[in-house]
Chains A and B, each alone.
Chain A
Amino acid sequence: MIHASLAQLRRALDSRQISSVELATLFLDRIDALNPQLNAFISVDRAGALSAARAADERIAAGTAEALTGIPLAHKDLFCTEGVLTTCGSKMLANFVSPYDAHVVSLLKAAGAVSLGKTNMDEFAMGSSNESSYYGAVSNPWKTTHVSGGSSGGSAAAVAARLVPIATGTDTGGSVRQPAAFCGITGIKPTYGLVSRYGMIAYASSLDQGGAFGASAEDCALLLSAMTGFDPRDSTSLERAREDYAAALVAPDTGTKPLAGLRIGLPREFFAEGMADDVRAAVEAALEQYRALGATTVEVSLPNARLAIPAYYVIAPAECSSNMSRFDGARYGHRAAEYSDLADMYSRSRAEGLGAEVKRRILVGTYVLSHGYYDAYYLQAQRLRRLIAQDFQAALTQCDVIAGPTTPTTAWALGEMADDPVQMYLSDIYTIAVNLAGLPGLSQPCGFGADGLPVGLQLVGDYFSEARLLNTAHQLQHVTDWHTRRPATA
């Protein structure tokens, strides 16, 4: 059961081979046994999970089960959960119990999914290694001396080590795709606006987007289908009919060319210098598989992609500095024990409650938004954002899907980049531009590097092409077994 796909779990639950309570207990016991070495969870909610599982068993008995009814999952700890701690990886929210559920949490509860707890993350989702968490770094299940990636590192590590079959995450600059790549699982960030941000603690609002982690594209499709949908409480939620991404997957048929006609664009800039040899070898092998499946590959260009990181590190900190002003020690969260006046209360509460990386991004944002610098920084970054988005549109006239590495290297050692924020920023070179454009992106496992750590292949498509991305990954997963490999810890 531990390694079963969601479809297999569904059959087991519906045929009463296992109950939802038994399934939840199985995974909760694994969390108890394996989480001490991985640190993937910040909170485990055994009582809440078992109560939700009992309700799911009643639904199954009544014949009203949906695709996720009775399926265990975990939420990244920035989705507000009523009655369960939501820390966002920060000391600032160490005592924060949300009075309401995030929209995504409500949707998954209504679908009958069973939340086992909340996963570790970089503080306020600001980081690429999960090392900025106040609750400690997450270990990579494939090599516990290495990082899980970030910021949704806890969710990715938990799914990779099979502490839970599926998990939610968020992606502002690569925070679903990069940890999915580092942990050898599949992760998808949909088109900006498909997943409601209501109750999702904000980092950079014009870029933040909820996403899904699973062992396979099929599992991600099932989870994502349940997470999307219009929500009037999020002003940027898109008024579109919900899609059933799992139903859109084409049943693979060995011996045919299931991807005949699919044009895969390879951005020249993503295959240039900077990509490690072992990553390149795995990515090239996956592309060869795609050609065998009938797809054709064509070189495309994203000439402004190299500017995505500098533009992102203006736009994201600017939005972050505004969003983070809500943490003032007045209404919720940490308040300093001693202060002289109101301004001092704010300054000390924030100094004590926030970590170094969060403070740096707030200060950068404060600077680029200040009088006299706004045009040179913020508007220039937004102009580059348009050029980057236009590059993708031009490339997508020549191809249906853009493919390349998710990350330039496999996971690095814990502590290796802890003192060099810029070096860590540069590791998001292939993912960040996708957020600036607001396009959907997916990472799927495509092999292992020289050190035995997983390599991810990124697929990017036009707006609302989630079904195509998931099916493209699904077809590769039918002819390869990277997605079924499990780390020794699992």
Chain B
Amino acid sequence: MSLSNEQVGHLARLARIALSDAEIDATRVKLDGIFALIEQMQAVDTTGVEPMSHAQELPTRLREDTVIETDQREAFQRIAPQTESGLYLVPKVIE
């Protein structure tokens, strides 16, 4: 398998990573190498094998529905790039 520059550009847009044309070119070459490695998986017939998502296949733990967290807005927002009146500021989404 080898990727086209268009595919790499599409992946970068999906992943929200800005890549220049030169970076797309360089990235594509590296990704082709990685996918050549990954393709080795396809040689194995895994019919009937149950996918293993986790090392300890335990049921999700439940807990009492009680408040365990305290309000730490100030501490959390102190490290934010931009805040105002307790809100995170980002560029306007709706005109």
Residue ranges of A at the interface with B (Cβ–Cβ < 8 Å): 95-97, 99, 191-193, 206-207, 232, 235-236, 238, 304, 307, 309-311, 313-314, 321, 325, 328-333, 335, 339-348, 350-351, 354, 356, 359-360, 362-364, 366-368, 370, 376-377, 379-387, 389, 420-422, 425-426, 436-439
Contacts and interface: CB of A to CB of B under 8 A. Distances in A.
B77 to A, nearest CB: 8
Contacts of B8: 363
Contacts of A351: 17-19
B40 A307 contact: yes
Nearest to A362: B15
B30 A421 contact: yes
Given A99-B78, A193-B56, A321 B15 contact: yes
A420 B34 CA distance: 10
A341 B90 CA distance: 9
Contact of A330 (B19, B33, B41, B88): B88
B53 A389 contact: no
Nearest to A324: B15
Q: Which 10 A-B pairs have the closest CB atoms?
A: A438-B55, A382-B51, A386-B52, A383-B46, A335-B81, A351-B18, A347-B18, A99-B75, A192-B55, A383-B49
A310 B38 contact: yes
A335 B82 CA distance: 9
Contact of A364 (B16, B31, B41, B80): B31
A363 B76 contact: no
Contacts of B12: 363
B42 interface: yes
A310 B15 CA distance: 22
B37 interface: yes
Given A313-B38, A341-B91, A438-B55, 5 more contacts: A238-B58, A328-B16, A332-B80, A368-B38, A422-B33
A345 B91 contact: yes
Nearest to A193: B56
Interface residues of B, number: 49
Given A99-B72, A346-B16, A389-B52, A332 B79 contact: yes
A351 B24 CA distance: 12
B42 to A, nearest CB: 7
10 contacts: A307-B40, A313-B38, A321-B15, A350-B18, A359-B19, A364-B31, A380-B41, A383-B51, A426-B37, A438-B56
Nearest to A378: B51
Contacts of A314: 38, 41
A386 B49 contact: yes
Contact of B93 (A342, A421, A425): A342
B85 interface: no
B5 to A, nearest CB: 13
A246 B91 CA distance: 55
B52 A382 contact: yes
B49 A193 contact: no
Nearest to B55: A438
Contacts of A382: 51-53
A99 B14 CA distance: 30
A340 to B, nearest CB: 8
A246 B54 CA distance: 29
Contacts of B80: 330-332
Nearest to B93: A342
Nearest to A380: B41
A389 B88 CA distance: 44
Interface in B1-58: 8, 11-19, 27, 30-31, 33-42, 44, 46, 49-56, 58
Contact of A384 (B36, B44, B53, B56): B44
A309 B41 CA distance: 9
Contacts of B36: 422
A321 B27 CA distance: 16
Given A364-B34, A379-B51, A438-B55, A99 B76 contact: yes
